[in-house]
Structure 1
Amino acid sequence: MEKNLRARIRDGDPEAFGELFDACARSVYNHAYRLTGDWSTAEDMVSLTFLEAWRLRERIDPEGGSLRPWLLGIATNTVRNARRAARRHAAAVNRLPRQEGVRDFADDVASRIDDAGLLASVTTALKALRRPEREVLALCVWSGLDYAAAAEALGVPVGTVRSRLSRARKKLAAAADKAVQKTAEENREPARRRAQMSDGRTPAARPIQEGNR
């Protein structure tokens, strides 16, 4: 009987792994971007994710469904590790004596990888989320995984996925309401504090503002 894709990948079949890459690379790429906020960094994360997947191929259960949740879980861990490595590198470089006229690239590297959640359209809202909440949001909302698949990807119970997603949605709703209110206030026509008459004189009677009485 012909082996399924899982079994072939587990046995180290390069062609089967190529099929997996073709089927899931775009999904991994989009997920990595949502976690990093940078397309270039996301490309690096895709390469690292599939290298790690190949290294861990023997852990795959020969029986089961799509390997997409497994790959997205690896991608999530890869981004976490890259972020920690960038922070350690930046900290180490910052401890070194600075030389005049030499640009420090450590901050650039750290900021590229640590920009998780800074997507242009929802920057303010996503900044209110903790990392585990962003990860669940990326998996369940953007990548379309159900609770069970997201739990498999993150290695946590289904109940944890539910609670994190619920908190993320509440925070996003609150941040969105705040942003709408702020926009409305900014667009409101400012009150004229001192109305000028046509001849340049200020009227003798003016509204009394609270706090000045």
Structure 2
Amino acid sequence: MGNVESCDDGLWTRSLKGEGEAFGVLFDRHRDRVFRHAYRLSGDRHDAEDIMSMAFLELWRRRAKVRLVGGSVLPWLLVTTTNVARNSGPAAFRYRRLLTSLPRAEDVSYVTDDIYLQVDMDRDAAQALGTLNDLDLQLVSLVVFEEYTLAAAAAVLDLTPAAAKSRMHRARQRMKTALSGAVPSSPNPTPALKGERS
């Protein structure tokens, strides 16, 4: 494939038409960032590999419902990675069984060792992220780790900019509390304010 497209739009359209090579280019383009995100959330290299695989499997399984943001499938993948990481307990066995049944080429390396060296996330930070509810975790992931603007992350998550700003502030406070060793006042994160989701 001599001319690699800079946006995901064309590759995604071709993937939907059954071009496996186009889907492979999307995988190669985004796997490192999806892996790093999965590692941040899980704190474990092997779990991160599984989560990454599940996220790409979901991308294909739900392809009819995938919405590209700014010409990229990456925001959808990052949100899905967050959800997969949160739900990896009960569903992990089912996905692992499915993934092990898929054929693999001997010479394919899905994640290179240098990616592991780039990731420096300790278990305390992963546990601090674990104190956030799903929506706040997705927001923090997009803004802090993936460096999307707050407005872009709000659009991906179907929040108003004001709601995203408020949620971001509360999420940062909750994480600071968790990292300092103080126990949050309640085991459940602050519920969404009325009107935050459209």
What is the CA-CA distance between 1:41 and the residue it aligns to? 0.6
Aligned pair partner of 2:74 in 68, 72, 94: 68
What is the CA-CA distance between 1:62 and the residue it aligns to? 7.8
User: What is the percentage of aligned positions where both structures have the same residue?
Assistant: 40
After TM superposition, the score normalised by the length of structure 2 is 0.59
User: In structure 2, do the counterparts of structure 1 residues 157 and 85 end up closer, same or farther at CA, with 3 Å as the change threshold?
Assistant: farther
CA–CA distance in structure 2, aligned partners of residues 81 and 120 of structure 1: 18
Aligned pair partner of 1:5 in 4, 11, 25: 11
Provide, for residues 84-121 of structure 1, a one-character-per-residue CA deviation record: whole Å limited to 9, x for no partner: 546xxxxxxxxxxxxxxxxxxxxxxxxxxxxxxx8346
User: In structure 2, do the counterparts of structure 1 residues 83 and 150 end up closer, same or farther at CA, with 3 Å as the change threshold?
Assistant: farther
5 Å-filtered alignment, 1:49-88, equals: 49-60=55-66, 64-85=70-91
Structure 2: gaps of 5 or more residues? 93-120, 182-198
- Name the amino acid aligned to 2:166: S
CA–CA distance in structure 1, aligned partners of residues 126 and 77 of structure 2: 26
C-alpha RMSD of the superposition: 3.2
CA–CA distance in structure 1, aligned partners of residues 56 and 131 of structure 2: 30
Aligned length: 146
Structure 1: gaps of 5 or more residues? 87-117, 180-213
What is the CA-CA distance between 1:163 and the residue it aligns to? 2.1
Does 2:174 correspond to 1:171? yes
Does 2:144 correspond to 1:141? yes
What is the CA-CA distance between 1:166 and the residue it aligns to? 1.1
Does 2:125 correspond to 1:122? yes
CA–CA distance in structure 1, aligned partners of residues 69 and 131 of structure 2: 39
User: In structure 2, do the counterparts of structure 1 residues 62 and 28 end up closer, same or farther at CA, with 3 Å as the change threshold?
Assistant: closer
What is the CA-CA distance between 1:43 and the residue it aligns to? 0.3
Aligned pair partner of 1:150 in 149, 153, 165: 153
Q: Which 4+ runs in 1 deviate beyond 6 A?
A: none
User: In structure 2, do the counterparts of structure 1 residues 85 and 158 end up closer, same or farther at CA, with 3 Å as the change threshold?
Assistant: farther
C-alpha contact 1:9 1:57 (8 A) present in aligned 2: no
Larger radius of gyration: 1
User: In structure 2, do the counterparts of structure 1 residues 20 and 149 end up closer, same or farther at CA, with 3 Å as the change threshold?
Assistant: farther
